[in-house]
Structure 1
Amino acid sequence: MESWVRFSSQSQAKERIIRAAQYACTLLGYTLQKNGASATLVTTIKQLEAHFSLSRKLFRLGNSVDALESAKRAIHLSDVVLRFCITVSHLNRAMYFACDNILWLGKTGLSREMDQEKWGQRSFRYYLFSLIMNLTRDLYELKLLMEAETGCRRTSSKLAPENGAVSRGSPSYNQLLLFQLRLLLHILRNNPPLLLDLAKNTCDLFIPLDKLGLYKTNPGFVGLCGLTSSILSILSIVHPWLKLKP
């Protein structure tokens, strides 16, 4: 079990690079088609995209095991919200990878009677729910950091009032909104792992939404989102300190 998990983690970087290439092809194909490129060129780009997609599925064979191991570790977290979000996210990732492995069998011709459309929809549903859990976790951690920062600022203002002045009256709605916005930017700027994870999950969210027909965009936008999230994922692999923990 442990040896397979180590092998899976080593393959993750290669899978992310292939994913970036796949979505780059999606974006390029859409752009060429919109600009009146030849049908032969567009078809070639789409075929290349399909090859990258199939290659990714090969690298993800057995990733369900890694996701289940991550769920087992997350279930021991002390924070109830983090424990729920991270565990449920990993369990849905495990189901997503399992469906993806089944799709790989169909696309390679090893299982000709498989309903690829049905299994594709199932995989994207699990993927969507996993991303929702990831975003919920990101927003929860952001809320905790904002509350902690607000508490520190209030304590500091009470201990050392600026020029001895005492504020009078209640701040307006616009002042409160501006304060929250500045606080949000401050928190994100000082927590790159959280910022990266939030941006990556937000970009990824549009992919299953589009595939499931819940929020239709276009292949170009999907390609841009997939390429952006892939680059952010590669950054977190190259620089482990950028990976959000736990």
Structure 2
Amino acid sequence: MSNFPKKAIAFGNTVSGRDKLCRLLQYSFRGLSDLLDRLDSSEYAVLVKKFKRLDAGISTARKLMRIGKSLEMLYAAKDAFYIENLVIQTCVALSRISSACFLFLDHIIWLRRVKAIKIDITPVSRLSNQFWLLSLVMNLIRNAHDWYRIQQYHTQKQATAKPTDFVPETLPTILDTAKNAFDILIPLNGLQYAKVPGVVQGATGALSSIIGILTIWNNHLKLQNK
């Protein structure tokens, strides 16, 4: 418990930490507003409007916090080329480049929301969701490859005592796979490839945010790029 205040301060000092907390609140409000709206009761009408405003307000605030993040993500993409495993290298590189494009378009959407520029936001939003979807698809392909490596390791371990290559840890792989699976529903809905109710978006978005918070709080839960 003595380390908790220090860890909490360190967590709050990171942009990623603050963003994940805000994201948790955002998707919680989205889920709650849709859930109450489905009850179709006039007594919840005021709450539904408040939650929707909070969802939109936090979304705009998160976009502001991420200003410049696109360049950081693009710069981080070069580190992927130092990964020895070719599949992981390709997936991480394409995921980070796609994320950089998604975040850049996110900056444009923020500028439109604060009325700094006047453009048709619909095609920009769609393209942003496409890059987000591509990034998550790359992440899930990487997750599938990690599970294959884990399965191969256990098969080899039963057959021989010879040392093997790096094997992903199971718990971080479970968490990362779940996070990506939860997140992918949101751009699928945004692109109208699937119809995902707001309450489901809220629940999956909140769960993936909790996983993100855990991996920032405890670095041992974060998937290693090897």
TM interval, shorter chain, is 0.7 to 0.9
Identity over the aligned pairs, expressed in percent? 31
> Which of 175, 178, 194 is equivalent to 1:215?
194
Is 1:152 aligned with 2:160? no
Contact residue 31 and residue 199 of structure 2 kept, 8 A: yes
Is 1:22 aligned with 2:29? no
> Which of 197, 207, 210 is equivalent to 2:176?
197
Aligned to 1:224: 203
Deviations 1:56-111 (A, max 9, x none): 10111011122112201111211111110000000000000000000000001111
Contact residue 99 and residue 132 of structure 2 kept, 8 A: yes
Shift of 1:39: 2.1
Shift of 1:128: 0.2
Distance in 2 of aligned mates of 1:10 and 1:223: 24
Distance in 2 of aligned mates of 1:209 and 1:149: 34
Contact residue 24 and residue 209 of structure 2 kept, 8 A: yes
Shift of 1:36: 2.8
Matches within 5 A, 1:1-246: 10-37=14-41, 38-111=44-117, 113-155=118-160, 191-246=170-225
Distance in 2 of aligned mates of 1:72 and 1:151: 33
Larger radius of gyration: 1
Distance in 2 of aligned mates of 1:232 and 1:206: 16
Work out the number of aligned pairs and report it: 206
Distance in 2 of aligned mates of 1:77 and 1:238: 24
Distance in 1 of aligned mates of 2:121 and 2:18: 25
Contact residue 129 and residue 190 of structure 2 kept, 8 A: yes
Aligned-pair Cα RMSD in Å:
1.6
Aligned to 2:4: none
Contact residue 186 and residue 196 of structure 2 kept, 8 A: no
Distance in 2 of aligned mates of 1:203 and 1:89: 16
Distance in 2 of aligned mates of 1:114 and 1:207: 24
The secondary structure found in structure 2 opposite 1:75 is helix
Aligned to 2:164: none
- Using the size of structure 2 for normalisation, the TM-score is 0.87
The secondary structure found in structure 1 opposite 2:160 is helix
